[in-house]
A = this chain, B = another copy of it.
């Protein structure tokens, strides 16, 4: 019987509906306006209905985060195409920084907000970030195999590159670059030049 299958499909479509509405609000109105009530409004359902598909708001945000990560993975796959692994590592850094600076709200949901992480139990893997992370690990592993990078440990290398990129992006996204008293263009220039300077110092 195809009824249970159709029901399941409809359930998934409804979840997709909810996620799309939430995603749209995140990108265009800002995450502070992405309340359950407004999301419900946008898809023309009652707020209570959302709770038939999600346990709570955190779980919904976790799914929106998943959608964001699949976009990041797309961007990575499009832009990290260099044959040389270290060149590719640079492409990773540039793509990541562009992505973060161009979609600050989305970046926050992915890497800064605590809400979506509350659904990830203690000692459990953070599945959403796994694919993007794996791509970077792969690239770093190749860099190390070919001795292109000053690291002894793949995980340490990945963490370092990620931390530097994330540090630069998040200082900007969270308005902390204000302490440096620069114009918006100077800030952007400083961020990119610091990233490249870093990548240069780890090159072997």
A residues engaging B (CB < 8 A)? Answer: 111-114, 117, 120, 124-126, 129-130, 133, 150-151, 155-156, 159-160, 162-168, 170-171, 174-176, 178-181, 190-191, 193-194, 197-198, 201-202
Contact = CB atoms under 8 A, between A and B. Distances in A.
Mostly helix, strand, loop or mixed at chain A's interface?
helix
Nearest to A198: B160
Nearest to A180: B155
A201 B160 CA distance: 11
Contacts of A156: 190, 193-194, 197
Contacts of A111: 171, 174, 176
Contacts of A126: 175-176, 178-179
Nearest to A124: B178
Contact of A165 (B151, B167, B175, B176): B167
Contact of A163 (B155, B167, B181): B167
B178 A112 contact: no
Nearest to A156: B194
A133 B114 CA distance: 26
Contacts of A163: 164, 167-168, 171, 194
Given A125-B179, A178-B124, A168 B170 contact: no
A117 B174 CA distance: 8
Contacts of A150: 201
